[in-house]
Amino acid sequence: MSTPLTLLDKLWAAHEIVTRQDGVSLLWVDRHLVHEGSHHAFAKLAARSAHVAAPELTFAVVDHYAPTRNRAHIADPQIARMIDTLRANAATHGLRLFDLGDPAQGIVHVIGPEQGLTLPGLLINCGDSHTSTHGAFGALAFGIGATEVAHVLATQTIWQKKPPAMRITVDGALGAGVSAKDIALNWIAKLGTDGARGHALEYTGSAIRGLSMEGRMTLCNLSIEGGARFGMIAPDETTLAYVEGRPHAPRGRDWDAALTAWSDLTTDDDAEFVRDVHFDASDISPTVTWGTSPEQALPVTAMVPDPGQLTDDKADAARAALDYMGLVAGRPLAGTQVDQVFIGSCTNGRIEDLRAAAAVLAGRQAKVPGIVSPGSALIKAQAEAEGLDKVFTDAGLDWVASGCSMCVGMNGDLVAEGKRCASSTNRNFRGRQGRGARTHLMSPAMVAAAAVAGALTDVRPLLQGRPA
């Protein structure tokens, strides 16, 4: 009898060209996504008078440095230069470029799935750690460094050592106001930022199957924050319904053939994982971070932790985080005043995220300023067709163009030093949203609740009596 295989085993074997004696594999890359930060890799190509090996499989996106306002006249010369450099490299090598004026422009990890470039069974690389987002489709997707980006550009292959496989199972039903973001922050808080270090993480269980593709992308996106090399979810009917009809998705007989191939992209019964962790969905509450690491997170109803009650290896980090964040141990997290809010990013800038935030904000006023940046131009247009933009602007928030925006602080959207931001993004490291910025991560609905209250608050009471 054949050995039962994990989803990782099947995807790896399908892309493995050769394996060195040290166990490192040369893998074929099906999709390579590049952005403004990929200029170092293109410079390496130019230095060798080399060309992109498979321009038809390489897609360029303006997102990290994309201004969310006044795009026709970019005031910052450094930002303008970064974008112009990507344009020049795309033109030189004949790449499809999703430029600022493109109706399909957006964040790379949003438009890949949106355009049907992301498909089950593919190997997808990008010079960005949150490439793991695409694993939600049953793809092998992971971020790579500048040297590796150059290697993929030149050869359409990459050298990688196969990581060990880990599984997180979440069973049961999520409560009202609880989302994929809360699942992610919950497991990272429980297991730590080293909890999945170096592993290929597969998510399964009834709660995972109950998530939309938007929710699954959020979950896989945040796998990196728990130390995983990447995250994956086996494709199912939800996946197929999302993919079918997308611009780059297979059609006709090719679609039928794809369905046959994708049907095997599941972990076999009795396949072994080096680590297997289970969570009950009913135990997960709306969650916020209190510190400067994604693992420093608790239910919004909890108290700010006392470092003295933590283990030695966590206590010093907690003290430093509380000092930076300006929080006092033993006080409630709820009620902590915020200065501004942000809704968007490759983690939570999709239409489902905007709808969830708008459901909280409808008919209410924000007590603090904030930005809402959709994940793509198409999502922006859809949100406007549904009237979501008016909900945000009526509440007093700024409705801006698509891009990484305040998540990375590379484009003019920043949190001022010492200011506190409720954010739907993926990282709360010191200075992530600006020098001295204090970031609390949470779901879009929780960000909307913070905007209404002017403070961290439980979204659930604000949802009572409103359509689910």
In tens, the pLDDT along 206-242 reads 999 999 999 999 999 999 999 999 999 999 999 999 9
- Give, as one character, the DSSP assignment of residue 244: T
In tens, the pLDDT along 46-95 reads 999 999 999 999 999 999 999 999 888 898 899 999 999 999 999 999 99
1: confidence class by pLDDT, cuts 50, 70, 90? low
Contact 397, 366 (CB under 8 A): yes
pLDDT score of 117? 98
- Over residues 273-281, mean pLDDT: 98
Q: How far is CA 61 from CA 31, 33, 126, 155, 285, in A?
A: 13, 7, 11, 20, 35
- Over residues 145-166, mean pLDDT: 97
pLDDT score of 372? 98
- Over residues 153-168, mean pLDDT: 98
Is the confidence at residue 468, as pLDDT, over 90?
A: no
pLDDT score of 73? 85
- Over residues 164-182, mean pLDDT: 97
pLDDT score of 157? 98
CA angle 246, 248, 254 (to 5 degrees): 95
Domains of the chain in sequence order: 7-162+237-260 (3.30.499.10), 165-234+266-283 (3.40.1060.10), 287-463 (3.30.499.10)
Between 5-9, 315-319, 352-356, the lowest mean confidence (pLDDT) is in 315-319
In tens, the pLDDT along 427-467 reads 998 889 888 999 999 999 999 999 999 999 999 999 998 87
For the four alpha carbons of 330, 332, 337 and 343, in that order, the dihedral sign comes to: positive
* Percent of all residues in the chain with a pLDDT value above 90, rounded to a whole number: 91
- Collapsed DSSP state (helix, strand, coil) of residue 124: strand
User: Token pair of 393, please?
Assistant: 């602007």
Q: Average model confidence (pLDDT) for the chain?
A: 96
pLDDT score of 408? 85
Cα-to-chain-centroid distance, residue 288:
17
- Over residues 270-282, mean pLDDT: 97
- Over residues 338-356, mean pLDDT: 98
pLDDT score of 419? 95
Q: At what angle do helices 377-385 and 351-361 cross, to 10 degrees?
A: 40
In tens, the pLDDT along 291-343 reads 999 999 999 999 999 998 887 788 999 999 999 999 999 999 999 999 999 99
pLDDT score of 70? 87
For the four alpha carbons of 224, 229, 230 and 231, in that order, the dihedral sign comes to: negative
2: confidence class by pLDDT, cuts 50, 70, 90? confident
- Over residues 113-133, mean pLDDT: 97
Among all chains, which residue has been given the structure tokens 């998510």? 203
pTM flag (> 0.75)? yes
Contact 396, 403 (CB under 8 A): no
42: confidence class by pLDDT, cuts 50, 70, 90? very high
Cα-to-chain-centroid distance, residue 60:
18
Beta bridge pairs of residue 16: 27
pLDDT score of 310? 84
Query: 260, exposed or middle or buried, with CB in 10 Å at 0-12, 13-18, 19+?
Result: exposed
pLDDT score of 466? 80
User: Token pair of 178, please?
Assistant: 């609880």
